[in-house]
Amino acid sequence: MTNGRNTGRKIESRKNLMLFSGRAYPELAEEVATHLGVDTVPTQLYDFANGEIFVRFEESVRGCDAFVMQSHSTPINQWVMEQLIMVDALKRANAKRITVVAPFYPYARQDKKHRGREPISARLIADVFKTAGAHRLMTVDLHTSQIQGFFDGPVDHLFALPLLADYLQAKLDTDMVTVVSPDAGRVRVAERWTDRLGSPLAIIHKRRDPRVPNEVKVNEVVGDVAGRTCILVDDMIDTGGTIVKASDALFENGAAEVIVAATHGVLSGEAVDRLKNSRISEVVVTNTLPIPDDHRFDKLTVLSIAPLLGDAIREAFEDGSVSSLFGE
Q: What is the CATH number of domain 17-159+307-322?
A: 3.40.50.2020
Q: Where are the domains of the chain?
A: 17-159+307-322, 161-303
> What digits encode the pLDDT tens for the residues 76-133?
999 999 999 999 999 999 999 999 999 999 999 999 998 999 999 999 999 999 999 9
* pLDDT the model gives residue 196: 96
Q: If one looks up domain 161-303 in CATH, what number appears?
A: 3.40.50.2020
Contact assessment for residue 81 and residue 70, using Cβ atoms and an 8 Å cutoff? no
Report pLDDT for 9.
Answer: 54
- 91, 98 Cβ separation under 8 angstroms: yes
Strand runs (DSSP E) across 86-151, as ranges? 97-102, 136-140
Cβ–Cβ < 8 Å for 134, 100:
yes
Do the domains 161-303 and 17-159+307-322 match in fold?
A: yes
At 20, is the secondary structure helix, strand, or coil? strand
Of 294, 298, 293, 292, give the one whose Cα is nearest residue 278: 298
* Cα 198 from chain centroid (whole Å): 25
Tell me the backbone φ, ψ of residue 217, rounded to 5 degrees: -85, 150
Nearest 5°: the CA angle 313, 134, 287 is 45
Give me the pLDDT at residue 2, please. 47
CB under 8 Å to 188, separation ≥6 — which residues? none
Question: Which residues are part of the catalytic machinery?
Answer: 206
Say what the pLDDT of residue 15 is.
Answer: 83
pLDDT of residue 206: 79
Residue ranges of alpha helices (H) inside the chain are: 26-36, 76-92, 121-132, 161-169, 187-197, 241-252, 271-276, 306-317
Give me the pLDDT at residue 118, please: 95
Q: Omega before 75 cis (within 30°)?
A: yes
Give the per-residue pLDDT at 210. 65
- C-alpha–C-alpha distance, residues 290 and 69, integer Å: 13
What separation, in Å, do the N-terminal and C-terminal C-alpha atoms of the chain show? 59
pTM: 0.93
Tally of helices (H runs) and strands (E runs) in the chain:
8, 14
The CA-atom distances, in angstroms, between 54 and each of 20, 83, 85 are 15, 11, 8
Q: How far is CA 227 from the centre of its chain?
A: 32
Residues of the chain whose pLDDT is less than 50?
A: 1-2
The residues facing 135 across adjacent strands are none
Q: What is the pLDDT of residue 185?
A: 85
Under a CB-based contact definition with an 8 Å cutoff, are residues 217 and 189 in contact? no
- Which pLDDT value is given to residue 1? 47
